[in-house]
């Protein structure tokens, strides 16, 4: 956890990629008996908000792809599928916010 905290403190600017990697790194440590994914998503969203981005959700329909992407990252050492999934969710969320603003 200390190494994770140092890594997080040393991250340059707030980018979606850094937020998504923070999520992945925390889940990979698995520091809690329960709630690792929820805690990692909360951390990701807090950092996203601090960077001016909206919080994103992993919907029930995304769950299998989300878990597969986490496993792929753990086994293969590549975050590309995980980053792609969360970028897609971020894009969808921004689209939803813009649609609501257009209605107002």
Give me the active site residues, please.
Answer: 30
| CA separation for the pair 75, 92 (Å, rounded) | 28
Cα–Cα distances in angstroms (integers) from residue 28 to residues 40, 53, 95, 97, in the given order: 10, 24, 30, 31
Provide the 3-class DSSP secondary structure of residue 64.
helix
- Specify whether the CB–CB gap between 95 and 29 falls below 8 A: no
């Amino acid at each position: 956890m200390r190494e994770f905290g140092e890594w997080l403190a040393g991250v340059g600017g707030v980018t979606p990629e850094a937020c998504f990697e923070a999520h992945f790194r925390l889940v990979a440590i698995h520091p809690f008996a329960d709630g690792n994914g929820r805690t990692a998503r909360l951390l990701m969203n807090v950092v996203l908000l601090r960077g001016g981005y909206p919080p994103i959700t992993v919907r029930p329909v995304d769950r299998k792809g989300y878990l597969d992407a986490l496993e792929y990252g753990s086994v293969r050492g590549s975050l590309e599928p995980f980053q792609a999934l969360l970028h897609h969710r971020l894009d969808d969320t921004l689209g939803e916010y813009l649609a609501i603003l257009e209605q107002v």
